[in-house]
Amino acid sequence: MTIQAELIDASHPYLDGRPKGHFINGRSAAALSGRTFDTHNPATGEVIAQLAEGDASDIDAAVTAARAAFEGPWGRWTPYQRQAFLFRVHELVDKHFDELARLETIDMGAPISRTSNFRNFILQAILFYSGQAVNISGETLRNSLPGTVTTFNIRAPVGVIGGIIPWNGPMIGQWWVLGGVLASGCTVVMKPAEDASLSVLRMAELLCEAGLPEGVVNVVTGYGSTAGASLARHPGVDRVAFTGSTETGRKIIEASTVNIKRLQLELGGKSPDIVFADADLDAAVPGAAMGVFSNSGQICYAGTRVFVQRTIQKEFVERVAAFGRALKVGNGLDPDTQLGPLISQKQLDRVLGYMNSAVGEGAVLSAGGERIGGGLAAGYFVQPTIYSDVRNDMRIAREEIFGPVMSVIPFDDLDEALHLANDTPYGLGSAVWTRDVSRVLKMANGIKAGTVWVNCYGMVDPSVGFGGIKMSGYGVKGGRHHLDAFLYQKTVYINDA
Ligand code: NAP
Ligand code: MG
């Protein structure tokens, strides 16, 4: 194993070159098989750590720990105790935030400018869920039963959660699971993506440092097809909160039939971003561009299908191409970097494959279109890429690319834009750029997607939340209904007679 010398930070336990274990029952644990796998820095292709390669036996150990913790003292913590705990976590995460952001940048490539910016979001999310902890209530219901019978519902924690998340933003992705677990009194086994596990392991340690009983939060690292599949199938898991591709989502549904697990599925997208001729292009051009290019296009709700009214297509494409070319792509540790690498060689090959197919299908290359070489040749970098004159039935407009690739698709009127926007198997994000209120309302009502942004793109607040429809999955993240998914309704009938 070669480890990039300048990244080794002796004070950082994750970049010291020693193998890292799972996190089970409050401590680090090697894989029971003894196997490890390498994890890389996608900006350089170099190995940054060796992680435990989990399989069914490690998942079983972690689920056993999570079950024992659920049945143990944690299950008797009051809502106030869970809230106060989350306050302590808020303080600790704030204190360690720079370290977490740097770790995430080295592990998955996103620029430090982006990962550092997550501070407010994550701290807000922690306080949001701390508020949720003391807001769990049931209802007393009138009934028409004979005699005097009192009826009420209580909401009880579901039990052991399996949290399976992707690599594109684990610092945030894990909080969509941990927040609900810790507010509700559930316990969890997390399976981060094989390409980005470090911030999840580190967070589990910080939670224990803040006073979390052992076994409440466990992390098993490893591959999706082994560790992930075992977690999805395990009969001791009551619910799976999954974020990832639609293809894997289908496998999670199949695995859930073993014990009829509850599921939350946040899946892929091919979101429409619609720019009308009356839009303020000074806002719409950078807004639509960053709606695709942020995180190098590796965002589930990326607005990759940019529908532009035909009368402004030429101007829009010229301006957005200039914007794309000016973006600074590079190693995320450089504070000036705006776009980092793709996560892996596999993802790079996939994105380049789509780029190769686009022109063959008749799309016009308006910017980018190539892998970046020179000083960045060892990493997985591609240029921000724009195709214009794309048709909605081309592969690049139908399939999720998960790279910095924008498809500009012209339209003539609102009805056509709405029809094309909805002509997709997905329903995650969407946006409309216009100054016309009636157009805003027609589009907001007509678009079939979990979120409609108007004159902005990609804003998410933990207390508002977001979700999807169609093949983008079901369940919401954040918002006041999210916690319901970690609770089940228990009805009590008391006969006074
Ligand atoms: P993925 O391949 O589905 O992986 C997601 C997670 O599932 C990873 O931890 C993966 O582990 C694991 N996994 C893979 N196969 C599994 C199996 N058979 N059983 C159980 N777990 C399994 O997705 P990805 O390519 O990493 O991430 C990109 C996808 O996530 C995109 O489609 C994107 O749209 C979606 N996404 C959605 C949202 C949302 O909120 N809707 C947010 C972010 C991303 P390994 O990585 O170790 O294989
Ligand atoms: Mg990595």
Q: Which residues pair with 27 in a beta bridge?
A: 24
468 lies in some domain: no
Q: Which of 8-17, 109-118, 124-133 has the lowest mean pLDDT?
A: 8-17
Give me the mean pLDDT over the 437-458 stretch.
Answer: 98
> Could you tell me if 207 and 287 lie in one domain?
no
Q: How many angstroms separate the alpha carbon of residue 272 from the centre of ligand 2? A: 30
- The arrangement of strands across the sheet holding 27-29 comes to 27-29, 22-24, 217-219, 187-191, 160-164, 239-243, 262-266, 473-474
> Could you tell me if 389 and 438 lie in one domain?
yes
Residue 11 has pLDDT above 70, yes or no: no
> Could you tell me if 15 and 84 lie in one domain?
yes
111 lies in some domain: yes
Q: Could you tell me the end-to-end alpha-carbon distance of the chain, in angstroms, rounded to an integer?
A: 74
Q: What's the pLDDT score for residue 360?
A: 93
Q: What's the pLDDT score for residue 17?
A: 77
In eight-state DSSP terms, residue 114 is H
The total domain count for the chain is 2
Q: What percent of the chain has pLDDT over 70?
A: 97
Q: What's the pLDDT score for residue 266?
A: 97
Residue 86 has pLDDT above 90, yes or no: yes
- Cβ atoms of residues 74 and 187 within 8 Å: yes
Measured distance CA(298)–CA(168) in Å, rounded: 6
In which domain, by residue range, is 410 found? 272-461
Mean pLDDT, all residues of the chain: 96
Smallest-distance ligand from the CA of 219 = 1
Give the catalytic positions in this structure. 266, 300
For residue 228 and ligand 1, the question of a CB distance below 6 A is answered with: yes
Question: Which CATH number covers residue 210?
Answer: 3.40.605.10
396 lies in some domain: yes
Protein residue whose Cα sits closest to atom 26 of ligand 1: 166
Q: What's the pLDDT score for residue 15?
A: 78
> Could you tell me if 218 and 287 lie in one domain?
no
> Could you tell me if 131 and 12 lie in one domain?
yes
Q: What angle do CA 474, 189, 296 make, to 5 degrees?
A: 60
Q: For residue range 413-426, list pLDDT tens digits in order.
A: 999 999 999 999 99
Q: For residue range 354-388, list pLDDT tens digits in order.
A: 999 999 999 999 999 999 999 999 999 999 999 99
> Could you tell me if 291 and 384 lie in one domain?
yes
Question: Which CATH number covers residue 363?
Answer: 3.40.309.10
Band of residue 16 on the pLDDT scale cut at 50, 70, 90:
confident
Rg of the chain over Cα atoms, rounded to whole angstroms, equals 23
497 lies in some domain: no
Which ligand 1 atom minimizes the distance to the CA of 255?
19
Residue 6 has pLDDT above 50, yes or no: no
> Could you tell me if 283 and 326 lie in one domain?
yes
> Could you tell me if 207 and 329 lie in one domain?
no
Band of residue 18 on the pLDDT scale cut at 50, 70, 90:
confident
Q: What's the pLDDT score for residue 419?
A: 98
Residue 1 has pLDDT above 50, yes or no: no
> Could you tell me if 395 and 283 lie in one domain?
yes
Measured distance CA(259)–CA(105) in Å, rounded: 38
Give me the mean pLDDT over the 223-246 stretch.
Answer: 98
Q: Which residues pair with 263 in a beta bridge?
A: 240
Residue 7 has pLDDT above 60, yes or no: no
340 lies in some domain: yes
Q: What's the pLDDT score for residue 3?
A: 39
CA of 92: how far to CAs of 38, 44, 334, 348, in Å?
Answer: 29, 30, 26, 36
Query: Do β-strands 149-157 and 487-495 pair in parallel, antiparallel, or remain unpaired?
Result: antiparallel
Protein residue whose Cα sits closest to atom 48 of ligand 1: 224
- Non-local CB neighbours of 17 within 8 Å, separated by 6+ positions: 1, 3, 8, 49
469 lies in some domain: no
> For residue 253, with 0-12 CB atoms within 10 Å meaning exposed, 13-18 middle and 19 or more buried, which class applies?
middle
For the residues of 371-388, what is the DSSP string, one character each?
A: B--GGGTTS--B--EEEE
Query: Do β-strands 476-477 and 466-467 pair in parallel, antiparallel, or remain unpaired?
Result: antiparallel
Q: For residue range 317-356, list pLDDT tens digits in order.
A: 999 999 999 999 999 999 999 999 999 999 999 999 999 9
Q: What percent of the chain has pLDDT over 90?
A: 96
Residue 136 has pLDDT above 90, yes or no: yes
Residue 4 has pLDDT above 80, yes or no: no
467 lies in some domain: no
Secondary structure of residue 136 in the 3-state scheme = coil
> Could you tell me if 158 and 66 lie in one domain?
yes
* Extended beta strands in 186-257, E state: 187-191, 217-219, 239-243
For residue 449 and ligand 1, the question of a CB distance below 6 A is answered with: no
> Could you tell me if 200 and 139 lie in one domain?
yes
For residue 482 and ligand 1, the question of a CB distance below 6 A is answered with: no
Give me the mean pLDDT over the 220-241 stretch.
Answer: 98
For residue 229 and ligand 1, the question of a CB distance below 6 A is answered with: yes
Ligand 1 pocket: which of 40, 53, 164 to mutate (most atoms within 8 A of CB): 164
For residue 458 and ligand 1, the question of a CB distance below 6 A is answered with: no
466 lies in some domain: no
> Could you tell me if 208 and 302 lie in one domain?
no
Q: What's the pLDDT score for residue 14?
A: 75
Q: What's the pLDDT score for residue 9?
A: 55
